[in-house]
């Protein structure tokens, strides 16, 4: 037996001693099947990533600088009103 086979047998023996069944050991040693993920990047037409990033950061800044200073009229106040009404 090669050194790799000894290591494999050694780890299987240790797992078996811990109470794992042979089926569980074989499943844990099996390599997962690789599936190619389908990713759609054309859902918004001609809008690029930098534009989306700029719009996102702009909305976050608007939330912090404008809506947060409105008190009960901002997003937090609206959410609090909804939560407190139930």
pTM for the full predicted model: 0.40
Look at residue 16 and tell me whether its pLDDT is greater than 90: no
Q: For residue range 22-47, what is the model confidence (pLDDT) as tens digits?
A: 888 888 888 878 888 888 777 777 78
Give the CA-trace dihedral at 19, 25, 27, 28, to 10 degrees.
100
Q: Give 15's DSSP letter.
A: H
For residues 71 and 77, is the Cβ–Cβ distance under 8 A?
yes
Where on the phi/psi map is residue 38: left (φ > 0), alpha (ψ -120 to 50), or beta?
beta
For residues 67 and 74, is the Cβ–Cβ distance under 8 A?
yes
* pLDDT recorded at residue 3: 52
């Amino acid at each position: 037996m090669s050194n790799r086979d000894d290591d494999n047998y050694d780890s299987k023996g240790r797992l078996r001693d811990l109470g794992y069944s042979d089926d569980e050991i074989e499943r844990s040693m099996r390599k997962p099947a690789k599936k190619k993920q389908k990713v759609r990047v054309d859902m918004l037409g001609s809008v690029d990533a930098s534009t989306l990033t700029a719009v996102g950061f702009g909305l976050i800044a608007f939330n912090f600088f404008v809506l947060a200073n409105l008190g009960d009229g901002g997003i937090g106040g609206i959410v609090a009103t909804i939560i407190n009404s139930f």
